[in-house]
């Protein structure tokens, strides 16, 4: 499931992120790439232990977990702390797949996070740069994603994807991964669609007894499918 979630960051929080990141200290982005991905990666990032990355990452984590659409679609168990990257002057990231397991190297005895889902939160206005599309490959073809600042795209971490070269301006984004309560993408999609249907029926004033039964089906499926 590939999902566009608008308005993760509201105006004041987005403006603060943009202002602080404008003066950030960027380093070679290959520092967080896997062995194979490093050869394809040409961008800049904030160091994972940069105080600015820690501050803004915590704010973004709070924002996504408070977003009902994100929570319903992702059903997060563990969120890997957000990282930040910048593409400019022809920077790009060739076709690759994200590592299946991530360890937060800032923590002693860090627990592994299985990367079920990848997230990119766009922080630059799309009209401020040329190129920089996130291109995601799935069974339905290629999807080029370039969203308004403050919007997020959520997609399976096992998807092949790339970032097109940025030929003008700078593309700044936060990116992170999460381990879901539901490991299988198809089951997550079904639960999300069922959740949305229940919400629509509730808003329409549908029969309360039928809604209760349908809600029970949702939670029993979640109980059956959730990872231990």
Q: Could you tell me the residue ranges of all domains in the chain?
A: 3-180, 185-225
Which of the pair, 35 or 18, is modelled with greater confidence? 18
97-107 pLDDT tens trace: 999 999 987 77
Task: Report d(CA 1, CA 158) in Å as an integer.
Answer: 11
Q: Are 120 and 144 in contact (CB under 8 A)?
A: no
Number of C-beta neighbours around residue 83 at 10 A: 20
Binding residues for 2-oxoglutarate: 171
The class level of CATH for 185-225 reads few secondary structures
Asked if the model's pLDDT at residue 51 lies above 90, the reply is yes
Binding residues: 96, 98, 161, 171
Model confidence pTM above 0.75: yes
188-224 pLDDT tens trace: 999 999 999 999 999 999 999 999 999 999 999 999 9
DSSP secondary structure of 97-163: ---SEE--TTSTTPPPEE--EEEEEE-S-GGGSEE--EEEEETTEEEEE---TT-EEEEETTSEEEE
Supply the pLDDT for residue 38. 67
Binding residues for Fe cation: 96, 98, 161
Q: Across residues 148-177, what is the average pLDDT?
A: 98
The class level of CATH for 3-180 reads mainly beta
């Amino acid at each position: 499931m590939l999902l566009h979630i608008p308005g993760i960051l509201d105006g004041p929080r987005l403006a603060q992120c943009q202002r602080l990141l404008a003066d950030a200290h960027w380093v070679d982005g290959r520092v967080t790439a896997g062995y194979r991905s490093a050869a394809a990666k040409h961008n800049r990032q904030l160091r994972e232990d940069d105080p600015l990355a820690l501050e803004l990452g915590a704010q973004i984590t709070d924002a996504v977990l408070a977003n009902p659409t994100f929570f319903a679609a992702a059903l997060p168990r563990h969120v890997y702390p957000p990282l930040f990257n910048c593409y400019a002057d022809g920077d790009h990231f060739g076709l690759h797949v994200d590592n299946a397991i991530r360890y937060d190297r800032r923590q002693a005895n860090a627990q592994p996070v299985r990367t079920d889902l990848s997230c990119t939160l766009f922080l630059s206005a799309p009209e401020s740069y040329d190129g920089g599309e996130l291109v995601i490959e799935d069974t339905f073809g290629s999807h080029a994603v370039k969203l308004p600042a403050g919007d997020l795209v959520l997609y399976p971490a096992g998807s092949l994807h790339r970032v097109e070269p940025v030929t003008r301006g700078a593309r700044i984004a936060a990116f992170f991964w999460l381990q879901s309560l539901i490991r299988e993408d198809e089951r997550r999609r079904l639960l999300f669609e069922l959740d949305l249907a229940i919400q629509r029926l509730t808003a329409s004033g549908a029969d309360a007894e039928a809604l209760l039964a349908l809600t029970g089906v949702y939670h029993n499926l979640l109980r059956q499918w959730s990872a231990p």
